[in-house]
Chains A and B, each alone.
Chain A
Amino acid sequence: MRIRYLLLHAYGTGGTIRTVMNQANALVARGHDVELVSVLRHRDEVRFPLDPRVRVTSLIDERGTADGADDAGPHAGGGAPPAEGWRAALGARRDAALARSRPELVPAGEFGARYFNRYVERTVARHLRQTTGDVLVSTRPALNVLAARYAPRSMVRVAQEHMNLSVHRADVRKAIAAHYPAFDAVAVLTERDRAEYAALLPRTRVVRIPNAVHSLDQQPADHGSRIAVAAGRLYPQKGFDLLLPAFRQVVERHPDWQLRIFGVGERKGELRALIEELHLYNHVFLMGHTSRLDDELAKASLYVLSSRFEGLPMVMIEAMAHGLPVVGFDCPTGPSDVLTDGREGILVPPEDVEALAGAMSRLMGDRALREKLGAAALRTARDYSPAEVHPRWESLFSELLGAAPGGTERER
């Protein structure tokens, strides 16, 4: 099969980008022809391991300009609007005018809307009209809407949704209802998502395929260290501003424990100030980005998820693959789509700081409990192994190709 993925920014470091590359690697290893099309490009190299047989092309090159679509993941939207950047470099006056206009199809409430305007839309539309291949996979609402409108009907078209429906703003939900029926299938991450998207799109096929962890062959944690770990972009969605006061309560009872938060982001300064205000500088460390997260997870004894909402919390599942028990908020499409309270970890009501502190304290004081929950976490993580997940994409694409009218023709 010839499979094309359409991404906003293949050169960033977000979760969507990582999981798409995992899928691409698995499909190319199975002998398929895979191409990633990046709408924007502001870096020379991709940031995740990518099989060299996967081709990467980009539509708008913003390298050497002031723009930056770094981390243009599903939650991008904070920070200042982009500067003139590549737009200033556009030669034709008409292009420059289009680049300053609001997008026509992409709803303003899309978290990545700031990267779109009519010039970007037209560039993507042009590309889509000329695309050849068997399967087109688009990866976020803005691109899904454009693919629904412009991608050739001769291709199998699959929309990926990495976010829970309730997280999308009203105009995005409206666009989803209007445009997604054009797809052969809409793929979502959790069972709850599947039910919600299916209710909005009664005549469209909605399938659930979770993201895969990158490996199940991991060094197991031994649960003896006094290290709790959390990870994610330093951004309000991840709730580290709730985790810090919870850890403040815990540290009084468990002063030899420390919390390591891995990740970078625009709220680092605020979090640092909160650490100082709570006098947590001996116990909580903002570790920054690590390229060896596996090693860091293996050193820990428990994983904390403090998010306000999630899509599918992949780093948590990676932590479970190391046998780490989870303490977390039971937030929308968060941990409870993956694990059961009391079995692989302890879940508490969303944004309940006291309860989060209580759950952490309970696990810190009970190594046997950490071991028991951790063993169950490792078993549950197996459902997300590459061997379990990746074949499902291949079967979905084959099935849709076979089922489509003139399907054999498309196989060419």
Chain B
Amino acid sequence: MSPHAEIERVWPRDGRIRLVGALHGHTPGGAAESWQLLLVRRDHGDERLRYDAPLDGARFDASLPVDDLALDGPPSAVWDLYLSSGPGPGELRLRAGRHLDDIRGKKKIMVFPAQSVTTDEYGTVVRPFYTVSDNLSVECASGEVPPHYWEVENPEWVD
């Protein structure tokens, strides 16, 4: 398994997306404070977002506000997630993903909720997802999260 940022938990809630995990296949040097969570817009490599993600040993616990993507970002986009050793020459980027367990095809199995951000003009939903390669990305799409079933009718669990 090549070096990557192994994801253990993803918490898309309360307006943020929080990622918990550990670097795998790479032993970080001294500058634990300089590590960042890096988002790179797919097919637009020059569009990047960075958030502080100081390491604890090899472990990380980082988050970002979905507003940054929903309000300030393009209405429709995919962002690929990395752990970065920090900007500048010699930057090391480790792709975030979940590869160390036995579950293949996470795209359809480990599915996360979307969060909705609505302004007067438009609504955007932001949802983390595993790619077909079990890497973690975030998708933004215009629209709103449809109401859950319990908000529109009583579930008929027993017929």
User: Which A residues have a C-beta under 8 Å from some C-beta of B?
Assistant: 77-78, 236, 241, 269-270, 272-273, 276-277, 279, 281-282, 285-288, 299, 308
Residues from chain A with Cβ under 8 Å of B109 in the complex: 285-288
Q: Are A270 and B155 in contact (CB under 8 A)?
A: yes
Distance between Cα atoms of A286 and B11 in the complex (Å): 18
Q: Give residues of chain B (49-95) contacting chain A, Cβ–Cβ below 8 Å.
A: none
- Please determine whether B111 and A281 come into contact, CB atoms closer than 8 angstroms: yes
State which of B11, B112, B148 has its C-beta within 8 Å of the C-beta of A273.
Answer: B148
Q: In the complex, which residues 98-152 of chain B have their Cβ closer than 8 Å to any Cβ of chain A? A: 102-103, 108-113, 148-150
Of B10, B103, B155, the residue contacting A281 (CB under 8 A) is B10
Most A CB contacts (10 A, CB to CB) among B148, B149, B150, B157 go to B157
On whether the beta carbons of A273 and B150 are closer than 8 Å, the reply is yes
A281 close to B159 (CB less than 8 A): no
Residue of A nearest to B148 (CB): A273
A77–B158 Cα distance when bound, in Å, is 12
- In the complex, the chain A residue whose C-beta lies closest to that of B9 is A282
Closest chain A CB from B120 CB (angstroms)? 27
- B110 and chain A: residue at smallest CB distance: A285
Q: Is the CB of B108 within 8 A of A288?
A: yes
Judged by a CB distance under 8 angstroms, whether B13 is at the interface is yes
Q: A273-B148, A285-B110 are in contact. Are A78 and B9 (CB under 8 A)?
A: no
Output the least CB separation between B7 and chain A (Å): 10
Residues of chain A lying within 8 A (CB to CB) of residue B148: 273, 276-277
Contacts of A288 in B (CB 8 A): 108-109
Closest partner residue, chain A, to B158 (CB atom): A236
In the complex, the answer to whether A236 meets B11 with C-beta atoms within 8 Å is no
Are A236 and B157 in contact, with the CB atoms below 8 A? yes
- Could you list some 24 contacts between A and B, CB below 8 A? A77-B159, A78-B159, A236-B156, A236-B158, A236-B159, A241-B157, A270-B149, A270-B155, A272-B111, A273-B148, A276-B148, A277-B150, A281-B10, A281-B110, A281-B111, A282-B9, A282-B11, A285-B103, A285-B109, A285-B110, A286-B109, A286-B111, A287-B103, A287-B109
Q: Given contacts A281-B110, A286-B109, are A308 and B158 in contact (CB under 8 A)?
A: yes
**Shortest Cβ gap from A297 to chain B (Å):** 13
A94 to B104, CA, bound (A): 53
Interface hub of A78, A241, A281, A286 (most chain B Cβ within 10 A)? A281
Which residues of the partner chain A approach B108 to less than 8 Å between Cβ atoms?
A: 288
A394 to B17, CA, bound (A): 61
Identify B10's interface contact among A77, A236, A282, A285, CB under 8 A: A282
Cα A269 to Cα B155 in complex, Å, equals 11
**Closest B residue to A277 using CB positions:** B148
Which chain B residue has the least Cβ–Cβ distance from A279?
B13
Nearest CB of A to B49, in Å: 23
Which B residues touch A270, using CB under 8 A?
149, 155
Given the complex, which residues of A lie within 8 Å of B155, measured CB to CB? 241, 270
If A236-B158, A288-B108 touch, whether A281 touches B149 (CB-CB below 8 Å) is no
CA of A236 to CA of B113 in the docked complex: distance in angstroms? 23
B139 to chain A, nearest CB (A): 15
